[in-house]
Amino acid sequence: MDKQTLWQSVQNKSLLEDVAKGKEVIWLNEHLTSTQQALAKIPFTMADIDDAEERLARFAPFIQTVFPETAPQHGLIESPLVEIPAMKTQLERTSRNHISGRLFLKQDSHLAISGSIKARGGIYEVLKHAEDLALAYGKIKQTDDYTKFASDEMRTFFRQFKIQVGSTGNLGMSIGIMSAALGFHVIVHMSADAKQWKKDLLRQRGAEVIEYDDDYSKAVEVGRKLSDTDPNSYFVDDENSKTLFLGYAVAAKRLQKQLQSLNITIDAKHPLFVYIPCGVGGAPGGVAFGLKQLFGDAVHIFFIEPTQAPCMLVGMASGLQNKVCVQDFGLSGQTHADGLAVGRASGFVGGVMKHLLSGILSLEDYHIYDYMRDIVNTENIFLEPSACAAFWGVAQLHNPQMQQYIQQAGLQNDMQYAIHMPWATGGNLVPADIRETYMHTYLT
Ligand SMILES: *Cc1c(COP(=O)(O)O)cnc(C)c1O
């Protein structure tokens, strides 16, 4: 889009001028409505999330067989929810403000199999595709024991099919590992941001990795083209996939159970504030949609993005969605937060989030390494840098705009009962030497 047309067509012009200067901003969503009104406009329902959850349950015996680390949870891929009071104290110290309420970490960083939030949507989409094929070719019935998917016969069957995906790293790992485990020929198209160790690990698991000198959009574009020319190839479309999205949304049902077992009530007087790092939008969007379905107006969702790659922010705040990319605003799209290095957000997710999302905060890269050291030093939990962007939402609660949001939501007297939940999106598979390098990375 040319510069003049761009600035003539944007909403939130002065905020976007700050964004274009690379400043840290907070955008409060002026289109936020009641959850009931918002959900009425969205073409999915709770039944779709239930369907995804049931499919994952059918596959649990297979998952448990092929990935024995999931046996303690009987083949369910689910992450811990832990209170992190020492990190709360540290955030209060560094932000020089009291934080009302309790601080919990949702550790998707520690999801089994691929160590990131992509183990939800990515793995779910591969399983759904495998089930669709197996049903279509009469290889299985829905009532069968899905341990059958681990047999040599099934692996040979899947060998004739390809799965392809474009990725900055973590999505490729989830798709690659699960596809290879089922026997598919899987090709992962990796952008320049993707870390070498992720490519190495994937090759070692039997995936084919194609590397690009270009950014994420290019890897997706080429991957999609190659896949489309091959009738036996299935492309996992991070930007538009409803399947990925629903796989992520299942997180909400699992979280509801975890909160119940901790005796934590979420309601109008006990709000839940969730902060999720956002790249193309699928993972945070899916999780957010599920949470809104279950907790309605009592849950308040903020996405966090890097100042140089705030693709969802420019799309949603401008009102132009995926018609604009961060480069249109003169930003580089480059960030140390490799999982968030996306220039153009998903238009599909932007549309779904239009009336559900509370707002988006952007942060400079140096914070993520500081938070990463803080969470290691206070709670002995390692997260990858991208995931640490989530803490920014908590650190900014004292900001006048966040306070304005709390006032408008009528929550000023209830914040002592609030649950704050940074969503840790990745980290468990990061090798020790890379962790060490990150621990000594200081940006200004
Ligand atoms: C993928 C990813 C995200 C964001 O998910 P999107 O679907 O791209 O928005 C956040 N953190 C990490 C570590 C990721 O890998």
Mutate to test the pocket of ligand 1, among 175, 220, 274, 278 (most ligand atoms within 8 A of CB): 278
Q: What is the pLDDT of residue 343?
A: 95
277 Cβ below 6 A of ligand 1: yes
Please, what's the b/e burial string for 206-243 (b: 16 or more CB within 10 A of its CB; e: otherwise)?
ebebeebeebbbebbebbbebbeeeeebbbbbbbebbb
The pick from 114, 220, 386 for probing ligand 1's pocket by mutation, whose C-beta has the most ligand atoms within 8 angstroms, reads 386
Q: What is the dihedral of CA 137, 141, 142, 144, to 10 degrees?
A: -130
Whether residue 279 has its Cβ less than 6 Å from ligand 1: yes
Q: State whether the beta carbon of 116 lies less than 6 angstroms from ligand 1.
A: yes
Q: What is the dihedral of CA 356, 299, 54, 284, to 10 degrees?
A: 60
Cα(425) to centroid(ligand 1), Å: 7
3-state secondary structure the chain: CCHHHHHHHCCCHHHHHHHHCCCCCEEECCCCCCHHHHHHCCCCCHHHHHHHHHHHHHHHHHHHHHCHHHHHHCCCCCCCEEECHHHHHHHHHHHCCCCCCEEEEEEHHHCCCCCECHHHHHHHHHHHHHHHHHHHCCCCCCCCCHHHHHCHHHHHHHCCCEEEEEECCHHHHHHHHHHHHHCCEEEEEECCCCCHHHHHHHHHCCCEEEECCCCHHHHHHHHHHHHHCCCCEEEECCCCCHHHHHHHHCHHHHHHHHHHHCCCCCECCECEEEEEECCCCHHHHHHHHHHHHHHHHHEEEEEEEECCCCHHHHHHHHCCHHHCCHHHHCCCCCCCCHHHCCCCCCHHHHHHHCCCCCEEEEECCHHHHHHHHHHHHHHCCCCCHHHHCCHHHHHCCCCHHHHHHHHHCCCCCCHHHCEEEEEECECCCCCHHHHHHHHCCCCC
Whole-number Å distance, alpha carbon 151 to ligand 1 midpoint, is: 32
CA of 144 to the centre of ligand 1 (A): 34
Contact 281, 343 (CB under 8 A): no
Ligand 1 center–CA 285 separation, angstroms: 10
Q: What is the pLDDT of residue 127?
A: 98
Q: Is the CB of 167 under 6 A from ligand 1?
A: no
Nearest residue by C-alpha to atom 10 in ligand 1? 277
Q: Residue 223: CB within 6 Å of ligand 1?
A: no
Question: Would the CB of 282 count as within 6 Å of ligand 1?
Answer: yes
Which atom number of ligand 1 is nearest to the Cα of residue 282?
7
| Per-position b or e across 17-53, b if 16+ CB within 10 A of its CB | eebbebebbbbbbeebeebeebbeebebeeebbeebb
CA–CA distance, 434 with 10 (Å, rounded to integer) = 41
pLDDT of residue 193: 79
Q: Which atom of ligand 1 is nearest to the CA of 169?
A: 15
Euclidean distance between CA atoms 276 and 8, whole angstroms: 31
Task: Kindly give the distance from the C-alpha atom of residue 340 to the centroid of ligand 1, in angstroms, as a whole number.
Answer: 6
Question: How far is ligand 1, taken at its centre, from the CA of residue 194, in Å?
Answer: 12
Contact indicator for 212, 222 with CB cutoff of 8 Å: yes
User: Looking at ligand 1, which residue's alpha carbon is closest to its atom 2?
Assistant: 339
| Per-residue confidence in pLDDT tens, the chain, 444 aa | 788 899 999 999 999 999 999 999 999 999 999 999 999 999 999 999 999 999 999 999 999 999 999 999 999 999 999 999 999 999 999 999 999 999 999 999 999 999 999 999 999 999 999 999 999 999 999 999 999 999 999 999 999 999 999 988 899 999 999 999 999 999 999 988 788 999 999 999 999 999 999 888 888 999 999 999 999 999 999 999 999 999 999 999 999 999 999 999 999 999 999 999 999 999 999 999 999 999 999 999 999 999 999 999 999 999 999 999 999 999 999 999 999 999 999 999 999 999 999 999 999 999 999 999 999 999 999 999 999 999 999 999 999 999 999 999 999 999 999 999 999 999 999 999 999 999 999 998
Whether 273 contacts 340, CB under 8 Å? no
Q: Report how far residue 105's alpha carbon sits from residue 112's, in angstroms, rounded to the nearest whole number.
A: 17
Q: How far is the CA of 268 from the centre of ligand 1 (A)?
A: 29
For residue 192, what pLDDT is reported?
85
Tell me the best of 118, 173, 302 to mutate to test the pocket of ligand 1, counting ligand atoms within 8 Å of each CB and taking the most: 118
Instruction: Look at residue 217 in the predicted model and tell me its pLDDT.
Output: 85
Alpha-carbon torsion 369, 371, 377, 382, what sign? Answer: negative
CA distances in angstroms from 261 to 45, 101, 187, 292, 332, listed in the order given: 25, 19, 41, 20, 44
Q: Is the CB of 311 under 6 A from ligand 1?
A: no
Place of tokens 């709000």: 271
Gap from CA of 296 to ligand 1 centroid (Å): 23
Q: Which atom of ligand 1 is nearest to the CA of 121?
A: 7
